[in-house]
Amino acid sequence: MKIALAQLNYHIGNFEQNTQKIIEHIGLAKSKGADLVVFAELAICGYPPRDFLEFEDFVALCEKAAQEIAVHCTDIACVVGLPIKNEVLAGKDLYNAAYFIENGKVKAVVRKALLPTYDVFDEYRYFEPNTKFECIGFKGKKIALTICEDLWNINDNPLYVSCPMDELIKESPDLMLNIAASPFNYRHDEDRIQILADNAKKYQLPLFYVNQVGAQTEIIFDGGSLVFDETGTVKAEMKYFEQDLQVFDLEEIQNVKNKYPQPERASDIMQIHDALVMGIQDYFWKSGFKKAVLGLSGGIDSAVVCALACRALGPENVMAVLMPSKYSSDHSVKDALDLVNNIGCKHEIIEIKQAADAFDSMLAKPFAGLPFNLTEENIQARCRGIVLMAMSNKFGYVLLNTSNKSECAVGYGTLYGDMCGAIGVIGDVYKTQIFELARYINKDGEIIPENTIVKPPSAELRPDQKDSDSLPDYGILDQILFQHIEMQKGSQAIIAQGFDEALVKRILKMVNLAEFKRYQTPPILRVSPKAFGMGRRMPIVGKYMD
Q: Which of 148, 306, 310, 408 is catalytic?
A: 148
Residue 378 among known ligand-binding residues: yes
Residue 297 among known ligand-binding residues: yes
How many CA atoms, within 13 angstroms, populate the side-chain half-sphere of residue 378?
11
| Residue at 10: amino acid letter | Y
Closest CA to 238 of 250, 228, 229, 252: 228
Q: Which of 21, 30, 41, 235 is catalytic?
A: 41
Residue 301 among known ligand-binding residues: yes
d(CA 214, CA 149): 19
d(CA 305, CA 527): 15
Sheet bearing 77-85, strands edge to edge: 105-111, 94-102, 77-85, 36-38, 2-7, 244-249
Residue 329 among known ligand-binding residues: no
Closest CA to 208 of 242, 244, 171, 246: 246
Beta bridge pairs of residue 120: none
Question: Residue 299 carries which DSSP code?
Answer: S
Residue 118 among known ligand-binding residues: yes
How many other CB atoms sit within 10 Å of the CB of residue 469? Answer: 10
The CA-based angle 112-118-119, given to 5 degrees, is: 120
For strands 244-249 and 292-295, give the pairing.
unpaired
CA-to-CA dists, residue 36 to 1, 86, 92, 158, 238, angstroms: 8, 27, 31, 32, 17
Phi, psi of 194, deg, nearest 5: -65, -45
Residue 182 among known ligand-binding residues: yes
Residue 517 among known ligand-binding residues: yes
CA-to-CA dists, residue 74 to 24, 34, 104, angstroms: 13, 12, 6
* 2 catalytically annotated: no
* 62 catalytically annotated: no
d(CA 185, CA 179): 19
The answer to whether the beta carbons of residues 117 and 98 sit under 8 Å apart is no
Distance from the first to the final alpha carbon of the chain: 60
Residue 298 among known ligand-binding residues: yes
Residue 407 among known ligand-binding residues: yes
Q: Which of 2, 21, 112, 489 is catalytic?
A: 112
* 148 catalytically annotated: yes
d(CA 142, CA 133): 13
d(CA 248, CA 209): 12
For strands 175-179 and 207-210, give the pairing.
parallel
The answer to whether the beta carbons of residues 18 and 152 sit under 8 Å apart is no
Residue 172 among known ligand-binding residues: no
d(CA 525, CA 543): 28
Active site residues: 41, 112, 148
Known binding-site positions: 118, 182, 295-302, 378, 402, 407, 517
Known binding-site positions for deamido-NAD(+): 378, 407, 517
Known binding-site positions for L-glutamine: 118, 182
